[in-house]
Amino acid sequence: MIAVELRKLFRRPRTWATIAVLNALPVLVAVLVRLTDLVPRPGEGPPFLSAVLTNGSLFPLAALAIVLPLFLPIAVAVVAGDSVAGEAQAGTLRYLLVRPAGRTLLLVAKLVAVVAFVLVTVLVVAAVGYVVGTTLFDAQPLTAATGGTSVSGTGLTQQELVGRTLTAIGYVVVSMLGVAAFGLFFSTLTDSPLAAALGALAVLVASSLLFTLDAASPIAPYLPTRYWLAFVDLFRDPILWRDVVRGLALQGVYVGVLLAAAWANFTTKDVTS
Amino acid sequence: MTSVVRTRGLVKRYGRLRAVDGIDLDVRAGDVYGFLGANGSGKTTTVRMLLGLVLPTSGEVELLGERMPRAARRVLPRVGALVEGPAAYGHLSGRANLALFDAAGPGGPRRTRRRRVEEVLEQVGLGGIDRRPVRAYSLGMRQRLGLAAALLRRPELLVLDEPTNGLDPQGITEIRELLLDLHRGGTTVFLSSHLLAEVEQLCTRVGVLDRGRLVLQDELATLTAPTGATVVHTPAADRVPAVLDGRVVAVDGSRVVVRGADPAEVNALLVGAGVPVTGLALQRPSLEEVVLAAAGSSLDRVEVHR
């Protein structure tokens, strides 16, 4: 069943179109920065972008930071929102269930497929970012001697940089799992994939909005988007683990609760689509 | 005879509406069971409850001798279903769709998958289908593909909801032949339809649903058994009452209904009296008459309440 869902997801032209569109923005940013040499000052604009001019191999991180606030969550919400509701709308859900694909198993398979999508998307963005970064900008060959530069200004060895980049990618994936959980939960509530995706996005927009509001500060630590950009802290010296750990815990709680709700709803629901 | 589908006091309530109101279905092995009912009478809800898609408010469902939906994992691989029109992934070919559906549940060994897919495509008349995506299929082709998906596991029981929807007359005949063929091979067929003619031509047993209640369930042969009257066609209808004194039930143009279950005897009397007879038959109620007598008016009607 899991293999079936993966095959369905990755044989779908739309999946690859989404990933392609997702990569277009960072590439455009890279080209513009290359042509104009204008980058935001450190601390402004997307993180890491200012460092790219001196070291192109940091561009994968800049690319992730560019797509993280909006593009990536939209893509994840659309795919997750489509997972069950899309089958319901197409009418294929009933045929999967009478096959019979058990409801719990189907939900797990959908979840795995969405996670695979998140993983592939993030890796592709990082990989394309690396290729673009190293071809368009001066890529300092990251030897142990030269290394990279941390956000705090001290040097990082190549090993440290690679390790922290992979950790950052992992952190972004976990952040997106929260979005996926919202999408999957809404997807079991409705037969309209659009409604499910928009529901998940509405949560994220509301969360980002509340985050900027001082009056909402008491609930700020519990907003799903609160710690999304904490992966930047992985590049401080020493690593600032506080927000990263809180972010992981928060996403864990959201994912756990929402998946339990999705399961409870889907396994007891009348399939009338 | 063993029961293949059996429900006891099956009820599905949506709020205050009782969509299915305590029905006791009994489909036996080897039946072609026609499940009739007007639109909105609860047919589809019942079919969905049989397959475990909709959970009953109360009552029991037994499929192939096991309780549903508890035993779904054991029972459903032995059942083929077409529920409310076919559905498939539009961007994939028919073959890819069948392979995906087959892989989505237990009971379809991967080893034989390719062969089974080719066999069922052949069976439903799509054997020569190319790689074009299902999106480009006509309604009739999709219907055939849906039927092929139902047949993939060589099911003992076929549950079909309006299987000839969207097919042209030749297609309908073809599918009817296919179903009869499968039935001869030992498959029990549960056919839900609002097309009386289709059911009359195919089925051996009939259940009629009206507003969520099973108002009739019997052998088709019993329901349409001779009434004990004879129908006579004659150009001289006005002379019949004089010959068959007191036995005439109704006169309608050239058609006369006469009491008496022996057409030969009626014929002999009339011809003996010089009344020309152009047609002669035992009176049998049509399925339509039986159903209309058992069920009320159409549910699509919305009457004015004054």
- The per-residue pLDDT for range B87-109, each reduced to its tens digit, is 999 999 999 999 999 999 888 78
Residues B264-288: pLDDT tens digits? 888 888 888 888 889 888 888 888 8
Q: How many CB atoms lie within 10 A of CB B246?
A: 6
**What's the average model confidence in pLDDT over A88-92?**
93
State whether A99 and B104 contact (CB < 8 Å). yes
**What's the average model confidence in pLDDT over B189-206?**
89
Of A161 and B29, the structure prediction assigns the larger pLDDT to B29
C-alpha count within 13 angstroms, C-beta hemisphere, residue B106: 9
**What's the average model confidence in pLDDT over A191-217?**
92
- List the helix and strand counts (H, then E) for chain B: 11, 15
Mean pLDDT lowest among A42-46, A202-206, B91-95, B246-250: A42-46
Residues A113-152: pLDDT tens digits? 999 999 999 999 999 998 998 888 876 655 444 445 666 6
* pLDDT higher than threshold 90 for residue B122: yes
Task: Give the Cα separation of A234 and A239 in Å (integer).
Answer: 5
Please give the backbone phi and psi of residue B215, each rounded to the nearest 5 degrees, phi first. -90, -10
What is the structure's pLDDT at B287? 86
H or E segment to which residue B175 belongs: helix B169-184
> Are the C-beta atoms of residues B38 and B299 closer than 8 Å to each other?
yes
Q: Which residue's structure tokens are 């997972």? A: A83
Residues whose CB falls within 8 Å of the CB of residue A237, separated by 6 or more in sequence, listed in order: A150, A151, A152, A153, A154, A156
Given pLDDT bands bounded at 50, 70 and 90, which one contains residue A65?
A: confident
Mean pLDDT lowest among A234-243, B47-56, B147-156, B174-183: A234-243
What is the structure's pLDDT at B207? 93
Q: Which residue's structure tokens are 């990989």? A: A127
Cβ contacts below 8 Å, chain A against chain B, sum to: 78
**What's the average model confidence in pLDDT over B182-202?**
90
- Best residue of B57, B97, B101 to probe chain A, by most A CBs closer than 10 Å: B101
Which residues of chain A from 70 to 129 reach within 8 Å of chain B, CB to CB?
90-92, 94-102
- CA distance, residue B172 to nearest chain A CA (Å): 23
Residues B123-176: pLDDT tens digits? 999 988 888 999 999 988 999 999 999 999 999 999 999 888 878 888 888 888
Residues A20-39: pLDDT tens digits? 999 999 999 899 988 887 77
The pLDDT > 70 percentage for chain A reads 93
Domain boundaries, chain A: 2-267
Of B76, B81, B100, the CB nearest to A4: B100
Given pLDDT bands bounded at 50, 70 and 90, which one contains residue B33?
A: very high
ipTM: 0.85
Assigned CATH for B3-86+151-223 = 3.40.50.300
**In this structure, what DSSP letter does residue B129 have?**
-
Of B72, B91, B149, the CB nearest to A100: B72
* pLDDT higher than threshold 90 for residue B57: yes
Please give the backbone phi and psi of residue A14, each rounded to the nearest 5 degrees, phi first. -60, -35
> Are the C-beta atoms of residues B224 and B201 closer than 8 Å to each other?
no
What is the structure's pLDDT at A266? 95
* pLDDT higher than threshold 70 for residue B194: yes
Mean pLDDT lowest among A39-48, B19-28, B133-142, B194-203: A39-48
Task: Give the Cα separation of B30 and A250 in Å (integer).
Answer: 58
- Best residue of A11, A15, A98, A265 to probe chain B, by most B CBs closer than 10 Å: A98
Domain boundaries, chain B: 3-86+151-223, 229-283
Of B55, B73, B87, the CB nearest to A91: B87
State whether A90 and B104 contact (CB < 8 Å). no
Assigned CATH for B229-283 = 3.30.70
SS3 state at A180: helix
Of B213 and B306, the structure prediction assigns the larger pLDDT to B213
What is the structure's pLDDT at A248? 94
Q: Which residue's structure tokens are 């797990």? A: A108
What is the structure's pLDDT at B45? 92
What is the structure's pLDDT at A144? 41
Of B301 and A226, the structure prediction assigns the larger pLDDT to A226
- CA distance, residue B227 to nearest chain A CA (Å): 42
Note whether B304 contacts A: Cβ–Cβ < 8 A: no
Mean pLDDT lowest among A58-72, B50-64, B85-99: A58-72
What is the structure's pLDDT at A139? 67
State whether B48 and A96 contact (CB < 8 Å). no
Most confident residue range from A94-98, A232-236, B242-246: A94-98
What is the structure's pLDDT at B130? 85
What is the structure's pLDDT at A16? 94
